[in-house]
Structure 1
Amino acid sequence: MTSTQDTDRARQVLIRTLQAAYPHANVPRGPYERTADKLIADAAGNPFNQTTLAQGLADLDALADGDFVSLSNADGYTLLKRIENTPFFGYVRRFATVNLYDDPETWAALGYQGSSFDQGGYLTRGFNDLDWLPEPRITEYDGPVKFVPIKTKTGA
């Protein structure tokens, strides 16, 4: 069908697509690779998705003069913006948004501690350890307590 279908080249273009679409300096290559592999496996179970993925990856490579993999994140993002209304882009976005951010290695890179439920909640495991937010200003109102109705009943 296309020169990139079911090849390592297609996988590399897909990994690069994910990196350009979801750029994070601290996220290593592993989560992007795993997300690409899951996406390829998902597409293999549906001929339409498989064709959409293969054609989209081939198109990206063609739009990048044959080498999407070598583009920077900024240049890759610019190309992705050109195709953001295509079925390929929608499929990749829907799948990758869930799978990339459900990877424990991504969690660690972004500072997310994971699910709290199975670890007894956040209260005793750093609930208040956000050091990048300013301390909240807490003031109490010490004026008179007076009820001011917003609307009064009129008529019957």
Structure 2
Amino acid sequence: MKKDKRDDQSPDLTRRRFLTHSGTAVVGLGMLSSGLLSAKTWAAAAVGEHASATLMRMARDIYPHDTLEDKYYAAVLTPLAEKANGDAELKKLLSEGVKELDNRCDKLFARPYLELENEPDRVFVLRAMEDGAFFQRIKGDLMMGIYNNPELWPRFGYGGSAWEHGGYINRGYDKIDWL
């Protein structure tokens, strides 16, 4: 029996497999955008689960906004972790920074950073590291990622840039009661 030429060229990706995989991707993207997946989940591929969770806790300690969901911190940390996948120096900075943070906590409190329940203890350790490249990198990315996010401006009481509207006069400046 003679084989049909098309049998040798059949694609590995059938229509059914394509639909299955694309559906999974859509669900994953939806979960990320809704905040169901955290930075821990997405950064784990680059720096490991422990480092990912530590970076999330560190982010919340550096810029502690209790009313902000983790998804806003994850939106900053995820690109940083993804960049670390292709940048050996950044990956080393993040990995060694987390190790240093844990070592300092271990010396002072006999436990890693993630296990410190007392926020002032965590802040004490972070203040000791604040001049280092690791802390400055995380702090800088967070500052730009959180405070330059127009979606969050109303939550911080910032109405956005005023120069396009003639400045702050007649735009609420006269209603400030704390000046």
TM-score > 0.5 by shorter chain: yes
- Residue number in structure 2 paired with 1:21: 62
Match of 1:41 in 2: 82
Q: Distance in 1 between matches of 2:140 and 2:161?
A: 22
In structure 1, what is the equivalent of residue 149 of structure 2?
103
What does the per-residue CA deviation read over 1:13-33, in whole Å, with 9 as the maximum and x for residues that have no partner? 111111111223443333222
State the Cα distance separating 1:124 from its structure 2 match.
5.8
Q: Do structure 1's residue 64 and structure 2's residue 64 form an aligned pair?
A: no
1:30 aligned residue (38, 62, 71): 71
Q: Is the 8 A contact 2:47 2:91 kept in 1?
A: no
Aligned residues: 131
Cα deviation, 1:70-121, whole Å, max 9, x if unaligned, reads: 4333222111122223221222222222112112354232111234467786
Structure having the higher helix fraction is 2
Q: Distance in 2 between matches of 1:4 and 1:62?
A: 23
Preserved CA contact (<8 Å) 1:11 1:37: no
Over aligned residues, Cα RMSD in angstroms? 2.9
Q: Corresponding residue for 1:54?
A: 95
Q: TM-score, normalised by structure 2?
A: 0.58
Partner of 2:176: 130
Structure 1: any 5+ residue segments left out of the alignment? 135-156
**Could you tell me how far apart the structure 2 residues matched to 1:8 and 1:95 are?**
20
CA–CA separation in structure 1 for the residues paired with 2:120 and 2:142: 19
Higher mean alpha-carbon deviation, 24-33 vs 52-61, is at: 24-33
Please name the residue that 1:86 is paired with: 132
SS in structure 2 at match of 1:27? coil
TM (normalized to structure 1)? 0.65
Letter of the 1:86 partner, please give it: G
Q: Distance in 2 between matches of 1:62 and 1:127?
A: 48
* Distance in 1 separating the partners of 2:97 and 2:113: 12
1:141 is matched with none
Q: Conserved in 1, the CA contact under 8 Å of 2:153 and 2:160?
A: yes
**Secondary structure in structure 2 of the residue aligned to 1:114:** coil
Structure 1: how far apart are the matches of 2:82 and 2:135? Answer: 17
Aligned equivalents of 1:32, 1:40: Cα separation in 2: 12
> Match for 1:48: what amino acid?
E
Higher relative contact order (CA 8 A, sep 6+): 1
